[in-house]
Chains A and B, each alone.
Chain A
């Protein structure tokens, strides 16, 4: 059988790595991804391990990388993907990388700081020029321009105590949302002694910190009096306004404005230069960062792996314990030899016996990976137990198709999956980020097989978008029935529905050769026939599937050397299952073969026979199917009941007897080497050990063993009944799908096709009607029903099939590898 039949043999290997070559050896192992390191320093905290300093240096480097990455992102640039093979750099390069990175980040920080400062300066200059150029005309000047007016005498007449009346100005800029408050406060505090004029800047200025354009309110306050001046200054300070010197004379102001403009121009040039330099630095960062990130990440991983090794007593080499597939041992040894060649002493690997359960390794390709994935989602198998995945490749799509059977829907699903499979190598498809698409894409082979089997079961159910096809002529002759029963036109006009009778000669001409007869899709009682057919089909498929599961357990017993379980567990289980439910299948098939339509009214009922079988009673009205049926049934029930104590007591008694025999033989307590039988649900906990080992065998505690076996027996016997009934979901879901499909056709498409006798009306109406039909088909019948059938097929596999032989309590071999985690 292929390698998927059971997990590969995994060995525990001890590596002796000379200290000088340890780093390069582990780095090479990481590149190959062959082995899983076991943590030998589990009792040591992370801060006390040997290479913690190196790990910390790598982490600091990563922090710097994050800062650089953030800066690049802020500038709106993207980091290119690193290409080529980038092995982990040797430890002596770490210092160089660190210096390089630190220099770059310092440069970047300096340039950024400069840029900030320049921008703030520019902002100030701009504000100043806005204030000056705003055109606030001081009121006195305005009064002078107006010439003599009503106001002038008032001012001129002021004399006396206000001899030193001089108007002063405060000019500045304030944020617009504070302007109203500022104005209010100024008025309240210095009422009457100032005139303030507020105006909004015409252009928006860029805020140096956030970079967002904002408008500012410029103000010009004219006041007189020292104290008022002080108050105003305090208030403007409180509001964080930018205050600028305001010269009275117009020309002075103009000169100042010109100077400001010159200054801001120069500043802008300097700013431009700075930004050019910044983009240069960012370009260097873009080039340098991605490969360094990969290298440092690898380095950190190597040091973390090295931290898991223990140091030998002579401190000359590191000892590592790894799990490695037996098949890969030669490669491992070669790699170690090559990478430690320059150190003089070569690294050594040798196999040691293991006491713990090794991890499970099953190699898959891209086709089998999705099927192994759904098995592993339930639980990874124990070391070397039988893997259900190769059978799941066919039985899962098949059981899905039994619940989904429709040619049209299956064809749509198949084509969709085929499109994905044919386009799977395209880079655009592989790098798509949408999670739902990734889910569908990952299961493309699953969908392909599901669609294919659905087409097949669709042909058998004779349903194509709920319509039946007559590939072969139907096996029911309406004409014969009509002729022989005298169905004249008048008779037909009086009776709305009439039933064909198979006992009339010539009406039933033989079973339809492939699938369900198309006449049933025209019949009003088609559900009666289909229900009976599908229920019996579900039971037959279920009993077959479960019996197959029990048989697979045989391989487990043989492999783990527990032949007693063949006799004490598998045989009673098969007897119970086949004796009761295999007999039910036999009754079903026998009735199919032997029933005749002439005696249809008195046909025996399998259900009543089955119930009476368990109750050891009989119904007089129910005729036996075959002579001697009662004897056969009683025998089978007694046999099945007899297997229960065998199942319950057989294995524990045998194991206890054997233990007593062994302890009698070796009273010194040196037991024969095999790890004790872990009484799980039917799966061994024993794995082949090296001949050199003599591990202490687990003492079997009698009560525990009996209890485990009792649980297993109850689970199996009651499970037989409930699991068989559980397979009836195959019937239920296929019925639901057929009914939904038919309702959609009858309510949507039939309206469009039956519309109007004129040529044009139906054609135009069909376009939106078909659109609705298509959307509802995809949304309800493909997506919703598909997911539903998928889930139920999964449940049937995980619970009903796998609990007959699979324990799923192992763990996967997760090799030490540098491949990205999102694989």
Chain B
């Protein structure tokens, strides 16, 4: 852990940063490209400007993608001496990459604990990732 100077100084530095960022109003809307499937709106609590990530959509997209490569791809390999090797490669690549991606997304589906951030980071990210 770093020894920090006076907390006032860091707070004021963050404020300067905030003022630098605020003249860019269109910044936040650039993020709103994802679909807004996700937790339903909670009455009474202001809806955060962050978009929610759905689970179903990436699963469908990636399953289709690797399914095309691994299941449909082998039908289009041209006949030749290397046909068997190429088909093996396609299927193995599809299985490995799909499995790896699936593990990554499943591990984050229901987190049991959250990230532990430094207060400077919280200051910065709070307003940047609006």
**Closest chain B CB from A143 CB (angstroms):** 98
B126 contacts the other chain (Cβ, under 8 Å)? yes
Q: For B111, what are the chain A residues with a Cβ–Cβ distance below 8 Å?
A: 502, 508, 529, 597
Interface size class of A (residues with CB under 8 A): 35 or more
**Cα(A479)–Cα(B114), bound, Å:** 14
Contact of A493 among B11, B83, B129 (CB under 8 A): B11
A5 contacts the other chain (Cβ, under 8 Å)? yes
**Cα(A477)–Cα(B46), bound, Å:** 13
B52 contacts the other chain (Cβ, under 8 Å)? yes
Asked whether B100 lies within 8 Å of A457 as measured between CB atoms, the reply is yes
Contact of B84 among A3, A492, A499, A595 (CB under 8 A): A3
Contact of A390 among B42, B88, B93, B105 (CB under 8 A): B88
Q: For A474, what are the chain B residues with a Cβ–Cβ distance below 8 Å?
A: 50, 129
Asked whether B116 lies within 8 Å of A498 as measured between CB atoms, the reply is yes
**Cα(A395)–Cα(B104), bound, Å:** 18
A513 contacts the other chain (Cβ, under 8 Å)? yes
A52 contacts the other chain (Cβ, under 8 Å)? no
Q: For B89, what are the chain A residues with a Cβ–Cβ distance below 8 Å?
A: 390, 393-394
**Cα(A688)–Cα(B82), bound, Å:** 26
A336 contacts the other chain (Cβ, under 8 Å)? no
**Cα(A592)–Cα(B105), bound, Å:** 10
Q: For A482, what are the chain B residues with a Cβ–Cβ distance below 8 Å?
A: 122, 126
**Closest chain B CB from A473 CB (angstroms):** 5
Contact of B115 among A390, A483, A522, A589 (CB under 8 A): A522
Asked whether B101 lies within 8 Å of A498 as measured between CB atoms, the reply is no
**Cα(A526)–Cα(B126), bound, Å:** 19
Please judge, given known A-B contacts A473-B31, A479-B129, A500-B117, whether A1 and B108 are in contact too, CB under 8 Å.
no
**Cα(A337)–Cα(B24), bound, Å:** 86
| CB-nearest residue of chain A to B49 | A479
**Cα(A511)–Cα(B47), bound, Å:** 18
B76 contacts the other chain (Cβ, under 8 Å)? no
| CB-nearest residue of chain B to A371 | B85
**Cα(A478)–Cα(B83), bound, Å:** 51
Contact of B7 among A493, A523, A541, A544 (CB under 8 A): A493
**Cα(A532)–Cα(B123), bound, Å:** 28
Please judge, given known A-B contacts A479-B129, A506-B39, A526-B115, whether A592 and B48 are in contact too, CB under 8 Å.
no
Asked whether B119 lies within 8 Å of A496 as measured between CB atoms, the reply is yes
Contact of A522 among B11, B105, B108, B117 (CB under 8 A): B117
A593 contacts the other chain (Cβ, under 8 Å)? yes
**Cα(A212)–Cα(B101), bound, Å:** 73
Q: For B21, what are the chain A residues with a Cβ–Cβ distance below 8 Å?
A: none
Asked whether A524 lies within 8 Å of B48 as measured between CB atoms, the reply is no
**Cα(A512)–Cα(B111), bound, Å:** 12
Q: Which residues of B contact A (CB under 8 A)?
A: 1, 4, 7-8, 10-11, 31, 34, 38-39, 42, 45-55, 57-58, 81-85, 87-89, 92-93, 96-97, 99-101, 103-119, 121-123, 125-127, 129-130
Closest 3 CB pairs of A and B: A2-B84, A510-B53, A523-B115
Beyond the given pairs A398-B100, A506-B47, 19 more chain A to chain B contacts, judged by CB atoms under 8 angstroms and listed by A's residue number, are: A2-B83, A460-B100, A475-B108, A478-B122, A478-B125, A478-B129, A479-B49, A480-B48, A493-B11, A501-B113, A505-B42, A510-B52, A510-B54, A511-B53, A511-B55, A513-B105, A533-B107, A533-B108, A600-B112
